[in-house]
Amino acid sequence: MFFVSNVIDRHSRTVNVQKRSASDFLDIEPFAEEVERNPRTVRRWMDQPHDGLPYTWIGNRRLIHVPTAREWIFARMRNRKARRKQRAQDPKEKRT
C-alpha cells in the first residue's frame, strides 16, 4: 500500500512530498529492537537539536521512517582506524 504524504519532521523546515509505503514507518520500540538499542537511546537521538534522528508525528505517535533513519545512522558512523592512522602520521599532535 502506497500513499503520498506531506512529511514535516522536527529537524527540517521544508515539506517533502514523497511516495512512501506505510510499512516503511516504525514506532520507537520496534525501531529500537531493529537497531539493537534501548528505546530511551532512540528517544535521546530524536531529541538532539539540529541534527537529531528524523521522525514524523502521526496523531500522538512519533514514527520513524526506516530508510531515512538508516541514512542518518550511516552518516554518523566514524572510522576509528582512520583516526588512529592519522594520529600515527602526525607526531606533533598531543594526546590527552
In a domain, 12, yes or no: no
Average pLDDT over the chain, rounded to an integer: 79
In a domain, 2, yes or no: no
Question: What is the span of the domain harbouring residue 61?
Answer: 23-89
The mean per-residue pLDDT over the stretch 17-34 comes to 83
- Say what the pTM is: 0.61
In a domain, 1, yes or no: no
Give the model's confidence band at 7: pLDDT under 50 very low, under 70 low, under 90 confident, else very high. low
In a domain, 9, yes or no: no
**What pLDDT is attached to residue 21?**
72
Can you give the three-state secondary structure of the chain, one letter per residue?
CEEEEEECCCCCCCCEEEEEEHHHEECHHHHHHHCCCCHHHHHHHHCCCCCCCCCEEECCEEEEEHHHHHHHHHHHCCCHHHHHHHHHHCCCCCCC
Give the model's confidence band at 96: pLDDT under 50 very low, under 70 low, under 90 confident, else very high. low
In a domain, 16, yes or no: no
The mean per-residue pLDDT over the stretch 69-82 comes to 84
How much of the chain, in percent, has pLDDT values that exceed 70?
Answer: 65
Domain count for the chain, please give it.
1
Which CATH number is 75's domain given? 1.10.10
